[in-house]
Amino acid sequence: MIKYDIAKKFKLSGEVDSITPYGEGHINDTFLVTIKNSSTQYILQRLNTKVFSNYRGLMDNIQKVTTVLRDIVNSQGGDVDRECMQLIPTIDEKSYYYVSGNDCWRVYLFVKDTIVYQVIDFPDVFENTGEAFGKFIARLDGFDANTLCEVIPNFHNTADRYNKFLTAIEQNKSNRAHLVKDEIDFVKQRANKLSLIVDALDTNQIPLRVTHNDTKINNVLIDKASGKAICIIDLDTIMPGSLLYDFGDSIRSGCNTALEDEKDLSIVDFDINLYEAYCKGFLRGIGEKITDKELEMLHIGAIIITLECGIRFLTDYLDGDVYFKTQYDDHNLVRCHTQFKLVEKMESQSQQMLAIARKIKNNI
Ligand code: ADP
Ligand code: GN1
Ligand code: MG
């Protein structure tokens, strides 16, 4: 079925004018839909059902969470159409359209006049991003995590990611293991750190919450006029998790001075001023909801999630590039290198990172 026929299955405001590829996500296929003689636009997405085999549970999670968020934004006098993702139903009132052959499609209202950053240049924009993600967790604090399905089991279980990495080395499906001996050693040297977050969750030292789990900087829309982070997008991985996952992934992506797939490692660095800016916004946004233990572990979250992401890129490289979209042969390896460089940089500044979080919390 072609995209124009798919679009007709949804309750759009008029006749489709154009459908064009959009955005830089690594997982789904995203298109911008324009409507004839109208300024309303939509985002049409084909879900990656290989990654999200439980697309029904996923769409159910999104529906539940967006409904709650809309009520909260409404009650606070916000603009729901700009501050919340709005699913557009199909003509049969479903949240997605399924085509046999494992194709699942959905439509969101397009939020106009926003920018998505791949690299952050301005600390104030990143501070606003931190505030938005902090608020997101605080707003969902009363939401019962058990009512959501675990879309991808063990998504941020870093110890489990490590085991999958070891299996990938053993299976060596792509016959590339001999090319990445140093990278494999890099991970193995850090093996004892990898379960710090899951252990803290398992022993109830930190709470299980409803978290976003994919808080990279291009998953938040920044209002062009005000520079405020107005709408958190890419809700596919919302499920029970730790605040450290969300904090960590924003730091991984936003404090990098270069792109995630920068080949020139000399320009990849961890910007601690951006770390401070994000901490300020995040701690303001989450307010009293953060626990002392979570605060003390923020820097650990940043390091582990960055390491985990590098391990995931390396695992996919070993598996033959079957998970993340890639544009060239070594793309996953290039991405792995940027993440490992950031890990080293963060490790060497971890005490400063901890001091920054404590100082900001004390001043709030
Ligand atoms: P992926 O899961 O593949 O990362 P996303 O849901 O993040 O897909 O969408 C990809 C890109 O599309 C985003 O980075 C953003 O630029 C854009 N986008 C997605 N949804 C919207 C929306 N409702 N309004 C405006 N832009 C959007
Ligand atoms: C993927 O979907 P996207 O591009 O926002 C991935 C994240 C990784 C990220 C690395 C469902 O995010 O977990 O951190 O790439 N999403 C999924 O850039 O695996
Ligand atoms: Mg995305």
**SS3 (DSSP) at 261:** coil
Which atom of ligand 2 is nearest the CA belonging to 213?
Answer: 13
Residues 169-204 pLDDT 10s: 999 999 999 999 999 999 999 999 999 999 999 999
Which residues contact ligand 1 via a Cβ below 6 A?
22-28, 30, 43, 85, 108, 110-111, 116, 218-219, 221, 233-234, 236
- How close is the Cα of 181 to the center of ligand 1, in Å? 35
Per-residue model confidence (pLDDT) at position 1: 64
**Ion ligand 3: protein residues whose beta carbon lies under 5 Å:** 25, 219, 234
CA 42 to CA 248: how far, in whole Å?
Answer: 30
- How close is the Cα of 232 to the center of ligand 1, in Å? 10
- How close is the Cα of 355 to the center of ligand 3, in Å? 31
Per-residue model confidence (pLDDT) at position 304: 98
Residues 91-130 pLDDT 10s: 999 999 999 877 999 999 999 999 999 999 899 999 999 9
**SS3 (DSSP) at 212:** coil
Which ligand neighbours the alpha carbon of 332 most closely?
2
Q: What string of pLDDT tens digits covers the 364 residues of the chain?
A: 689 999 999 999 999 999 999 999 899 999 999 999 999 999 999 999 999 999 999 999 999 999 999 999 999 999 999 999 999 999 999 999 999 877 999 999 999 999 999 999 899 999 999 999 999 999 999 899 889 999 999 999 999 999 999 999 999 999 999 999 999 999 999 999 999 999 999 999 999 999 999 999 999 999 999 999 999 999 999 999 999 999 999 999 999 999 999 999 999 999 999 999 999 999 999 999 999 999 999 999 999 999 999 999 999 999 999 999 999 999 999 999 999 999 999 999 999 999 999 999 999 8
- Residue minimizing CA distance to atom 11 of ligand 1: 23
Which ligand neighbours the alpha carbon of 239 most closely?
2
Phi, psi for 310 (deg, rounded to 5)? -60, -40
- How close is the Cα of 233 to the center of ligand 1, in Å? 6
Amino acid at 64: K
- Residue from 22, 24, 27 whose mutation best tests the ligand 2 pocket (most atoms within 8 A of CB): 27
Category of 90 on φ-ψ map: left (φ > 0), alpha (ψ -120 to 50) or beta:
beta
Q: Which residues have a Cβ under 8 Å from the Cβ of 40 and sit 6 or more positions away?
A: 12, 13, 14, 109, 110
Which residues contact ligand 2 via a Cβ below 6 A?
25-27, 51, 214, 216, 219, 234, 236-237, 249, 260, 309
How many residues are there in the chain? 364
CA 283 to CA 278: how far, in whole Å?
Answer: 8
pTM for this prediction = 0.97
Which ligand neighbours the alpha carbon of 222 most closely?
1
- Residue minimizing CA distance to atom 19 of ligand 2: 27
